Amino acid sequence: MSEDGLLYFDYAAATPLSDVALRAMRPYFSEKFFNPSSPYAPAIQVHREYEAAKHELAVAIGGKADDIVVTAGATESINLAMTAAGGGHIVTSAIEHHAVLHAARRHDVSIVDVPRSGIVDAQAIRQAIRSDTQLVSIALANNELGTIQPLRDIATVIEAERLARRNRGDKTPLWFHSDASQGVGQIDINVARLGVDLITINAAKCYGPKQVALLWRKPGVALTPLVYGGGQELGLRSGTENVAGTIGFAAALTDASQKRKSESKRLGDLRDLFEQLLVEGNDPLQVTIPGKKRLPGSLHVMIPGVDAERLIFLLETKGVFVATGSACAANSGTRSHVLTAIGLTDAEADGSLRITLGRHSTEAQVRRGAEAIIDAVRSEIERVRK
Amino acid sequence: MSEDGLLYFDYAAATPLSDVALRAMRPYFSEKFFNPSSPYAPAIQVHREYEAAKHELAVAIGGKADDIVVTAGATESINLAMTAAGGGHIVTSAIEHHAVLHAARRHDVSIVDVPRSGIVDAQAIRQAIRSDTQLVSIALANNELGTIQPLRDIATVIEAERLARRNRGDKTPLWFHSDASQGVGQIDINVARLGVDLITINAAKCYGPKQVALLWRKPGVALTPLVYGGGQELGLRSGTENVAGTIGFAAALTDASQKRKSESKRLGDLRDLFEQLLVEGNDPLQVTIPGKKRLPGSLHVMIPGVDAERLIFLLETKGVFVATGSACAANSGTRSHVLTAIGLTDAEADGSLRITLGRHSTEAQVRRGAEAIIDAVRSEIERVRK
């Protein structure tokens, strides 16, 4: 990212490629450009390096390389994960990313309500599971609110249902998928500890290259390919392997994992400072969901009565970049389905800002950002009053 | 590509990223890393530059930007193109790439035979078209033999069938798709002149980045998305746009189009020299399909009785890289379906080499490569005789 004074607070939408990832990728653009399926030694070497990168990705999440499918992004991973439902029923929540909701709607789906806390209730999931439910999909952390979901509790509910099915001789499988794109580098992502059967991780959200993600699934989870062809990725995702992208992704994920503990502490402190400054400086501003059950780098605030889209334009003139919601939703010009789902009023939803911090965020940036937001809110409130 | 004396003759499998494409992409890794759907000015600017790149891609093939879907590779483009068949019947040929054959087999499909010439017969296509046929898919040039297919003739057959349907009030659509991945930079690719309704073009085969391709389709051709989500690419391919990849692709395609005339002349001359040297130096060696109906950079030869896989290992010790067939097929260790389809004997197919030239090929390389192949063939023949 350029260091020219821009105050970027939208790391949930996009992260810049890290130097470590770019350095790892560079040789594969030019001198190591070979097709990894070609039969001669330098191509076989490229294939080995590709497999080593998949192994590195697997190690970072506590899985095995053979259980990872590299895809072109989280949306593709999520759509592929949904095929684990077979012809069965899917349970998901009302605050999932559009990729999950739209892919799930291709199936028979139940969408559970989410309370004002922004935290999915494991018991609501339990109640929504039917005898023909084959997949539950809940994101690790919500992409707008930053709320961290109780995956372990949901996994326990799912395990109980599996046991009940076994006890009655019902062989209908039931799998648990989580889109963990938003949590990488901020919270521990280990597939066994999270209790998931499938997980989506997006390189573009952890300082890796864009257009690369992975879907890990536990051995035994049957997937149906979205594309057919040369049979790469164990036949689950045909097409020449994305060598440079995967190697950059592995470097970025390892780097993010190594930095995680110190970085999440640092981001949490910065976020708390940002929150404190905004709350102190703004009478009408409220923190949407205070407390600890949020990603350390996430801060979601509401200024009811103020038009957040106008705020964003005002702020961008001062070089401050924040979001109203997810980038996809922002672009469609519609009210956030996440904020509506947790019961915000229209005025609250329309006056919401998503502030997300990342690796290049500093205390000085946070102080300047908070000041700019306070000023912008004041001037908007004055404008509305006139 | 490194200039350390390696003799790479497998440009049909992979091309190195050109400097012009890498230079175009670089800013989008770091300072212009914004999500193109984000609402603030620098992100909107990135979105504009992405759209400009799509426009540039469109101009290069004589189409419109709105009719292009950017995908993660030719395999995805082909699979998306196949959805134009709806629930209808597909006609394709026995020498298509696995991506086409495997994607087509998800539908009701007829696969027409191809004669020893390696050229698809338009009349065979005509005979295979049924009243419920909705898609014909034939590659512009075969990826193993390099044979250029008579797309115009096939388009004429399709147009006649459309007219017949209109005359009898039958509204069943019939579309013509071509995977042009192998022709880019060597033959003219203009969608109107080719007479196609859909075309797949792969950046990775024209010195652009890997993991990017396009599917162009004529307005009115209905496609069904393979993935669902944020609704990007007019809803046909959800997922954050591949900004860097698309901008690199556009730069590479424009560059390849501008160089095409001089480069195809140069490659044709080099290929003819390669062919002449091999034929003169090798008694048992035969050119599989001589003549002009081949890509200028393509040369396919057979040395019946010699094991081409052993040849490839021998050659690679001398720094010479050639292929037995497509990289995907090579990796699976099975005999080429293309060579079997055109009626080569097992001995001919197993003794086949695919030699493909490209931008970094020189006369000196061709002479050294031909000498190495002649030596390797001789030593293999002697070994077999003993």
Structure tokens at B99: 């991506």
Structure tokens at B369: 């490569």
Rounded mean pLDDT, B84-103: 97
The continuous run of DSSP H or E covering A47 comes out as helix A41-61
CA distance B206 to chain A (A): 12
Per-residue pLDDT band for A191 (boundaries 50, 70, 90) equals very high
Task: Please state the domain extents for chain A.
Answer: 7-16+260-385, 19-255
pLDDT surpasses 90 at B4 = no
Rounded mean pLDDT, A249-273: 97
- Comparing B283 with A245, the larger pLDDT belongs to A245
Q: Which class in CATH covers the domain with range A7-16+260-385? A: alpha beta
Structure tokens at B317: 């010790």
Mind listing the pLDDT tens digit for each residue in A295-323?
999 999 999 989 999 999 999 999 999 99
pLDDT surpasses 60 at B131 = yes
Tell me, what's the pLDDT at B333? 62
Structure tokens at A244: 């440079």
pLDDT surpasses 60 at A265 = yes
Tell me, what's the pLDDT at A326? 58
Tell me, what's the pLDDT at B329? 53
For residue B238, the chain A residue with the least C-alpha distance is: A75
In contact, A108 and A90? CB cutoff 8 Å: yes
Rounded mean pLDDT, B173-182: 97
Report the alpha-carbon distance of residue A54 to residue A44 in Å, rounded: 15
Q: Which of B328, B345, B346, B379 is catalytic?
A: B328
Strands B89-93 and B108-112: parallel
CATH number of the domain located at residue range(s) A19-255 in this protein: 3.40.640.10
- Looking up tokens 């810049």 gives A16
Report the alpha-carbon distance of residue B251 to residue B211 in Å, rounded: 15
- Looking up tokens 């005025």 gives A347
Tell me, what's the pLDDT at B1? 43
Among B28, B240, B25, B36, CA closest to A181:
B240
Structure tokens at A349: 């939803």
Rounded mean pLDDT, A250-273: 97
Flag if B230 and A78 touch (Cβ within 8 Å). Answer: no
Report the alpha-carbon distance of residue A252 to residue B333 in Å, rounded: 34
Rounded mean pLDDT, B266-274: 98
Q: Which amino acid is at A282?
A: N
Per-residue pLDDT band for A253 (boundaries 50, 70, 90) equals very high
Mind listing the pLDDT tens digit for each residue in B25-40?
999 998 999 999 999 9
Q: Which amino acid is at A297?
A: G
Flag if A99 and B30 touch (Cβ within 8 Å). Answer: no
What whole-number percentage of chain A has pLDDT above 90?
Answer: 92
- Comparing A216 with B282, the larger pLDDT belongs to A216
In contact, B325 and B173? CB cutoff 8 Å: no
Can you give B145-165 as a three-state secondary structure string?
CCEECCHHHHHHHHHHHHHHH
The continuous run of DSSP H or E covering A56 comes out as helix A41-61
The chain-wide mean pLDDT, for chain A, equals 94
Q: Does B5 touch chain A (CB under 8 A)?
A: no
CATH number of the domain located at residue range(s) B7-16+260-376 in this protein: 3.90.1150.10
CATH architecture for the domain at B19-256: 3-Layer(aba) Sandwich (3.40)
Tell me, what's the pLDDT at A385? 84
Residues 65-124 of A with CB under 8 A from B: 71-76, 78-79, 97-99, 102-103, 105-106
Contact residues on chain A for B316, CB-CB shorter than 8 A:
40-41
Tell me, what's the pLDDT at B16? 96
Rounded mean pLDDT, A175-198: 96
HSE, CB side, 13 Å, CA atoms: give it for residue B243.
27
Give long-range contacts, CB 8 A cutoff, 24+ apart: B101-110: B101/B337, B102/A228, B102/A229, B102/A231, B102/A238, B103/A227, B103/A228, B103/A229, B103/B75, B103/B78, B103/B79, B104/B137, B105/A228, B106/A228, B106/B82, B107/B82, B108/B132
Flag if B37 and A331 touch (Cβ within 8 Å). Answer: yes
Decide whether B7-16+260-376 matches B19-256 in CATH topology. no
Rounded mean pLDDT, B207-216: 97
Report the alpha-carbon distance of residue B66 to residue B317 in Å, rounded: 48
Per-residue pLDDT band for A334 (boundaries 50, 70, 90) equals confident
Per-residue pLDDT band for B3 (boundaries 50, 70, 90) equals very low
Indicate the DSSP class of residue A317: H
For residue A229, the chain B residue with the least C-alpha distance is: B99
Tell me, what's the pLDDT at B384? 84
Q: Which of B22, B98, B212 sits opposite A29 (nearest CB)?
A: B22
In contact, A226 and A23? CB cutoff 8 Å: no
What b/e readout covers B248-261, taking b as 16+ CB neighbours within 10 angstroms? bbbbbbbbbbeebe
Tell me, what's the pLDDT at A4? 52
Q: Which of A43, A74, A103 sits opposite B228 (nearest CB)?
A: A103
Mind listing the pLDDT tens digit for each residue in A137-182?
999 999 999 999 999 999 999 999 999 999 999 999 999 999 999 9
Tell me, what's the pLDDT at A331? 54
Contact residues on chain B for A38, CB-CB shorter than 8 A:
10, 13-14, 321, 323, 327, 330-331
pLDDT surpasses 50 at A2 = no
Contact residues on chain B for A312, CB-CB shorter than 8 A:
39-40
Starting at the earlier edge strand, list the strands of the sheet with B198-202: B68-71, B213-217, B198-202, B175-179, B133-137, B89-93, B108-112
pLDDT surpasses 50 at A1 = no
In contact, A287 and A299? CB cutoff 8 Å: yes
- Comparing A283 with B335, the larger pLDDT belongs to B335
Contact residues on chain A for B314, CB-CB shorter than 8 A:
none
ipTM value for the complex: 0.94
Indicate the DSSP class of residue A379: H
Q: How many CB atoms lie within 10 A of CB A168?
A: 8
Q: Which of A14, A34, A103 sits opposite B229 (nearest CB)?
A: A103
In contact, A211 and B72? CB cutoff 8 Å: yes
Mind listing the pLDDT tens digit for each residue in A82-132?
999 999 999 999 999 999 999 999 999 999 999 999 999 999 999 999 999
With 0-12 / 13-18 / 19 or more C-beta atoms within 10 angstroms meaning exposed / middle / buried, residue A85 is buried
Report the alpha-carbon distance of residue A155 to residue B354 in Å, rounded: 52
Tell me, what's the pLDDT at A3? 46
What whole-number percentage of chain B has pLDDT above 70?
Answer: 97
Rounded mean pLDDT, A190-195: 96
pLDDT surpasses 90 at B334 = no
CA distance B165 to chain A (A): 31
